[in-house]
Amino acid sequence: MNDSLPPALAKIVKRFQRATEPKRRYEQLIWYGQKLADFPESDKTPQNKVPGCVSQVFVTASLNDDKVTFQGDSDSQLTKGLLALLIEGLNGSSPNEIVQLKPDFIQETGLNVSLTPSRANGFYNIFKTMQKKAMESQESVSN
């Protein structure tokens, strides 16, 4: 198990590892997507859009006491689930912790096997955007 994962993300990875069938993993993803907090329409701007995603995905990051809080939304249920998984797993981490993370924990969830190439690619794009936003949130505070 990847020890460098934030505790919340490690917990999510374990949860997905227990779901042995792809169908269960999808149900879990959709469940994560459904419990995602409402995303303000006013934040659905080009700056917050995740590039390279087939579906519309938006994500924002804010920094409080050196801990990042992400918010996001997507018009696709499964993509929203992937986003929600990342938000729940990464919220409360420092920008540095987030930037140092490798996206290979997706393999440990087993989701990469169930995802279409465009969705897997979307996952990486969301992850990279969140890393970029985490850094920006730190820069905007220190200026």
- For 74, phi and psi rounded to 5 degrees? -150, 155
Q: How many CB atoms lie within 10 A of CB 63?
A: 19
* Ranges of H-type helices in the chain: 7-18, 22-34, 77-90, 95-100, 105-109, 111-114, 117-142
CA distance linking residue 127 with residue 140, whole number of Å: 20
**Is 53 noted as a catalytic residue in this protein?**
yes
CA distance linking residue 44 with residue 35, whole number of Å: 19
Q: Is the dihedral of CA 14, 15, 16, 17 positive or negative?
A: positive
With beta carbons less than 8 A apart as the criterion, state whether 93 and 119 touch: no
13, 19, 50, 53: the catalytic one is 53
Active site residues: 53
